Amino acid sequence: MSYQATNNQEQMTSAHYHIYPIPFMPLYPKLANAYVPYQRFVSAFPLSEALEKGTLFPELYDPYVPENKKWGEVK
């Protein structure tokens, strides 16, 4: 594995391509436009837990519980 190559590549592209090239949400969201917040990888479930839960990412784990979902209700 060549870490040097990775660094060079990063230097070459960092000017226009950062780790997170897209902001979490637009600074000035426009009305009548839909946005998906840009995920950031911070932590992961233990692998056995991830397989059970169906996702590796705690921020994406959101099981459907019918009684909690009412119109206009914020979880």
Partner 1 sequence: MKHHDREALLRQIQEVEFATLELNLYLDTHPTDNNALIQYNQLSNQLLMLKQQYDMCYGPLLNFGFSPSQYPFRWIEGPWPWERQY
Binding site for partner 1 (CB under 8 A): 1, 6, 10, 13, 17-21, 39, 41, 44, 47-48, 50-51, 55-57
Q: How far apart are CA 55 and CA 41, in angstroms?
A: 13
Least separation in angstroms between CB 34 and partner 1: 17
CB nearer to partner 1: pick between 17 and 35: 17
Quick one: 21 or 29, whose CB is closer to partner 1?
Answer: 21
Report, in Å, the least distance between residue 17 CB and partner 1.
6
15: DSSP letter: T
> How far apart are the C-alpha atoms of 47 and 45, rounded to whole Å?
6
Alpha-carbon distance of 37 to 17, in angstroms, equals 18
